Structure 1
Amino acid sequence: MFAIRQKQILIGLFLLGLFLITIACSTMYGATIYSVSTIWEAFVHFDSSNMEHLVIRTARIPRVLGALLVGAFIAISGALMQGMTRNYLASPSIMGVTDGSVFVITVSMIFLPNLQPLTLVLFSFIGSILGVAFVFGIAKIVPGGLSPLSFAIIGTILGMFLNGVSQALATYFQVSQNISFWYNTRLHQIDPIVIKWSIPFAIIGLALALYVAKSVTAISLGDEVAQSLGINIGAMKTLTLVSVALLTGVSVALVGKVTFIGLVIPHITRLLIGEDYRRIIPFAGLFGALFFAWADIISRSINPPFETPVGVITALVGVPYFLYLIRVKGGKQYA
């Protein structure tokens, strides 16, 4: 036990150090490379007439903060979904959660074009709830729909359906230009004001995630085990879904659809940390934050000054891993 705890402490300290390096690199590199001294001056001696200072304060810093936050939120959501459903293939992008958010944002942008940041986050949260309810509802109707592979297929198909309807509505009502941001992950367009209004929702989502962590550990071992421990399975699963919807809704509102982080990162976390969700959740957040931030740095570095879509980088890791899971564990319950 002591050796395991020591290992986790060392991993945590290493990740915190890596966080500082990540923030520094993300702030330095882009279409223009800024020196450490310039970045330091932008903070301690900010000059609003200095374009470099403005870019660092209003673009680079919000971008890296957004990448870290969204990576953490999506990874935690994926971990919760995998534990709650006992499904190795569960994640917000596969189970219709992100597509539900994009769908409701599309509808709201059509009929309420001047959305305020707070309202945008609220609609994104509502869309996450509707998306996951839609997928779970259909999966329960279809024979064998809740098995891992069938559930993933149903979620993917329904997600594509919601995405197709969203794009069709956007084209018909001629708002494709306004909402194209949410169809692709675009960190360079992140709005600092939306980050500010997202914080209360994110805090509630994270608090719920930590609250249900112990119960999710038991549920991941089977409903019978959870019931024998006196856990109210229905209540805990509901709170888990609310947490997932909040964290995913905030993420979509901030940067649009994010794929594969919620699938891959929880598996890496369990491999390194163990099966206790009281530890998986915070560490998945750390791993997810770093993964997404470095994916963004790499996307800016491949073909400067042009940016490769960050979704391409996450897909290069996520697609092979997804195929591996289907081949090796697709038909098995998580245990």
Structure 2
Amino acid sequence: MISKKAKKTKSTSIINIANNSLSTYKTNAFKFNLIKNKTINHLFKFVTIIILAVIVGILVLFITDIGFDEINAYINRKLIWVILLSSINLVISTFIVQTLTHNKLADTSVLGIGSINLVLLTIAILFLDISNKNSINTFNTILPFLYIAGSIIASLLIFGLSSKNKFEISKKFILAGILLNFAFSAVSTSVSTVLSSSKSNILSNYSSGLIEFKFDFYIYMAIALTLFSLIWFYSILRKYRIVTTNNIIANQLGINIRSIYWQGIIISAIMTATAFFLVGNVVFLGLVGANIALYLFKKDYKYGVVSSGLIGFIILGLTYFFNKNLIVNSQINTSTVIPLIATPYFLYLILKKN
């Protein structure tokens, strides 16, 4: 016969189990609702960014050239591709670098990964013949591959030097990159003064980041490289997110951390080169676009990666639109306006030691 004390103990145990189960259920329900609300919130932000990008695309598409009354959307459609692809590649490459290094100041243009291509372009212009149509076509075909090789080599050198510190990029490293960027630009500008007018124009356009119509070959190649890079990145995205969030957990799961790091670096280099052969050297666009995306989506890279590229397109597209439509007879290069907008934010990050 069971005593009253035993019955009471048994009842208490049942009640405790029920309370614990209820508490666990409430906790899990709360977590589920939190994740659900977060997902809906991020999806809403993502859709909003897409809508804004479409609006900017329409604005750029219907820009009229000074002196013309008719809208030349047929020609401007190529300009849309140039701005879109260059923005996506430049900002996403910076997004990858920032998440790898956990440094909001890291920027492919600032670190010299993009500006190294100015040196390669200068060397190519000095030694290659572009005096006739065939040689010009050969020169234009070689350039994208030259930039890809240059960006990959520069990335491997920069991150190879910092790999002992788990790919951390110090402020000294960033400041050195800024100095190199200005040095490369100064060298290319100096060299352009002794070149023929055709060679000088090519060099100055890439040096200043001129947004202009490109050959169909460049656009098709940029589309292919962009798709290739995004497919590659999203194929490692789950592991990449774990690695950039917690190396200890990544080790426990058996993830090859260094492999993920180097894959991210190479993807970033390819995208940097793609942006460079489309518009040249555009400083700080990647910095701003990547920072905004990381602020909006945090570690949700599924939305953050593509959103960062679209944010870059919105910034560059709007800047181009206002420059061409609000400033009468504007001779200002759109890409030179971006640093004026972004430099205060860059200085703010340095002062805040972020």
Give 1:149's match in structure 2, choosing from 151, 158, 171. Answer: 171
State whether residues 73 and 285 of structure 1, in contact with CA within 8 Å, keep that contact through their aligned partners in structure 2.
yes
| Structure 2 counterpart of 1:121, from 144, 149, 161 | 144
Match of 1:46 in 2: none
Alignment partners' CA distance in 1, 2:241 and 2:270: 20
Cα deviations by residue, 1:159-181 (Å, 9 ceiling, x for unpaired):
33333444444445553233211
Change beyond 3 A, Cα 1:155–1:229? farther
- Contact kept in structure 2, 1:101 and 1:127, CA below 8 Å: yes
Counterpart AA for 1:80: I
Q: What corresponds to 1:82 in structure 2?
A: 98
Q: Residues of 2 paired with 1:219 and 1:133: CA distance? A: 19
Please provide the CA RMSD for this pair. Answer: 2.7
Change in 2 beyond 3 A, CA 1:118/1:7: farther
Select which of 131, 144, 156 maps to 1:133. 156
Aligned counterpart for 1:299 among listed residues 315, 323, 332: 323
Which whole-Å CA distance do the structure 2 matches of 1:166 and 1:138 have between them?
26
User: Does the residue aligned with 2:108 lie in a helix, a strand or coil?
Assistant: coil
1:219 to 227, 243, 253: 243
Q: Using a 3 Å threshold, how does the CA distance of structure 1 residues 167 and 230 change in structure 2: closer, same or farther?
A: farther
2:73 — aligned with what?
56
1:109 aligns with 2:111: no
Residue of structure 1 equivalent to 2:220:
196
> Which moved further from structure 2: 281-290 or 25-34?
25-34
Partner Cα separation in structure 2 for residue 221 and residue 144 of structure 1: 13
Q: 1:8 aligns with which of 25, 42, 64?
A: 42
Give aligned pairs, total.
Answer: 311
Question: Is this contact kept in 2: 1:191–1:254, CA < 8 A?
Answer: no
User: SS of 2:111's equivalent?
Assistant: coil
Partner of 2:18: none
> In structure 2, what is the equivalent of residue 185 of structure 1?
209
TM-aligned CA distance change 1:318 to 1:213, over 3 Å: farther
- State the distance in 2 between where 1:33 and 1:178 align: 25
Q: CA deviation at 1:3?
A: 1.2
Structure 2 unpaired stretches of 5+: 1-34, 131-135
How much has 1:209 moved relative to structure 2? 2.4
Which runs of structure 2 are paired with 1:305-324 in the superposition (5 Å)? 305-324=329-348
Q: 1:109 to 1:214 in 2, by over 3 A?
A: farther
Q: How many angstroms apart in 1 are the aligned matches of 2:237 and 2:191?
A: 39
Give the percent of matched residue pairs that are identical in Structure 1 and Structure 2: 21
Which letter maps to 1:125? I
Q: TM-score, normalised by structure 1?
A: 0.83
Q: Indicate conservation of the 8 Å contact 1:82/1:91, yes or no.
A: yes
Q: Tell me what 1:209 maps to.
A: 233
